[in-house]
Amino acid sequence: MSERVYNFSPGPAVLPEEVLEQAREDLWNIGGSGIGVLEHSHRGKLVDSVFAEAKADCRKLAAIPSEYYVLFLHGGASTQFFMLPANFLPKDGTADYLHTGSWSKKAIQEAERYGRVHVAASSEDANFSYIPTGEQTVCSDAPAYVHLTSNNTIAGTQFATEPRVLDGAWLACDASSDIFSRPIDVQKYGLIYAGAQKNLGPAGVTLVIIREDLLSRPAVRELPAMLRYREHADQDSRYNTPNVFAIYIMGRVFKWILANGGLAEIGRRNRAKAKIIYDVLDASSQFKGTVRADSRSQMNVTFRARSEELESLFIAEAEKQGLVGLKGHRSVGGMRASIYNAFPEKGCEALAQLMREFEARHG
């Protein structure tokens, strides 16, 4: 099948077509080297330049200050769930976590292996359908760090801004599902991590942006080299053999965002795309959004129909029309439209149109 459909998958997710076309060529022979990108040594000159360009473009894209390292690590965001506390949470220390969904729950469970976790705010009382406000957030006195999940892929909520932290504390952010979907003020964070497979590229690489001074602190415990941020920073993310292909694609995606106007323009487009679907939800008596309006995600729009039967029917009709991947996460049901950076506005319009037609037919 050469035709492509509208892919609403929550991740791995749609990638920019230009990037895929370039990758097709570079898989065979990259940069006139006579060798495909998958076949080059990770310590050769060509891969040196792939890494250097990806890092430079990443810095440019998010205006990352020079005192931050950009790392490409293994093991997905799930590895960051334990690598972060392993490096920064002492056994007798406390880390604050904002509990806003299934992913923060996993992050909390992993942190609890290393030290104390203080849940500074939680929306579990309402099935994670909102983002707690500043008033609802009570941090501990001297947290090792404060962790948030900027976008909750399953619940469909997103922080509008960074939570404020006390002087001396620093923010650690799981930005897996909204990294580089809008402007970001990197200086507000000590560490940002994101599995690539939603907004940045294929699975198999995790982008980590980490402030230099955190790497110079005395270690809180003995760790294997692969788990030490310091080691990866010193070895330019090549302590061992990295996933060169995923890093190459991520670099190409950075270039694509830059060529499309950077984060401000991507943010504008993402707002417009999400609005197309939220407008239908607001006007509908058949479909209903599952989260509070002020907490809506611009990446994952979650909604329900009047009955589970109608939901199954809607998902089946959508698939027939080439709108795929709309089934909600198995833990929450309903529908979820994941509309990351590379997802086209036309796809949002097609979904909105189908929702309106479906409602006209089924009330």
Binding site residues, ligand PLP, CB under 6 A: 11, 76-78, 103, 149, 153, 174, 176-177, 195
Q: How far is the CB of 66 from ligand PLP (least distance, A)?
A: 28
- Please name which of 140, 121, 141 lies closest in space to residue 131, comparing C-alpha atoms: 121
Of 41 and 109, CB closest to ligand PLP: 109
Q: How far is the CB of 227 from ligand PLP (least distance, A)?
A: 15
Of 286 and 338, CB closest to ligand PLP: 338
Residue 300, H or E segment: strand 300-304
Active-site residue among 26, 103, 255, 273?
A: 103
103 included as an active-site residue: yes
Q: How far is the CB of 279 from ligand PLP (least distance, A)?
A: 25
The C-alpha atoms of residue 301 and residue 150 are separated, in whole angstroms, by: 15
Structure tokens at 297: 């995600």
Handedness of CA 315, 286, 357, 274 (dihedral sign): negative
Using DSSP, state whether 361 is helix, strand or coil.
Answer: helix
Q: How far is the CB of 100 from ligand PLP (least distance, A)?
A: 10
- Please name which of 341, 325, 319 lies closest in space to residue 273, comparing C-alpha atoms: 341
Within a 10 A sphere around the Cβ of 124, how many other Cβ atoms?
12
91 included as an active-site residue: no
Of 176 and 302, CB closest to ligand PLP: 176
Phi-psi group of 150: left, alpha or beta (phi > 0 → left; psi -120 to 50 → alpha; rest → beta): alpha
Q: How far is the CB of 67 from ligand PLP (least distance, A)?
A: 26
Active-site residue among 57, 174, 178, 256?
A: 174
Q: In 16-51, which positions are buried (b, 16+ CB within 10 angstroms) versus exposed (e)?
A: beebeebbeebeeebeeeeeebeebebeeebbeebb
Active-site residue among 57, 96, 198, 255?
A: 198
174 included as an active-site residue: yes
Of 195 and 334, CB closest to ligand PLP: 195
Of 77 and 354, CB closest to ligand PLP: 77
Structure tokens at 142: 């001297």
Going from the C-alpha of 238 to that of each of 74, 135, 217, 229, 340, the distances in angstroms are: 11, 43, 22, 12, 29
> Annotated active-site positions, please?
103, 174, 198
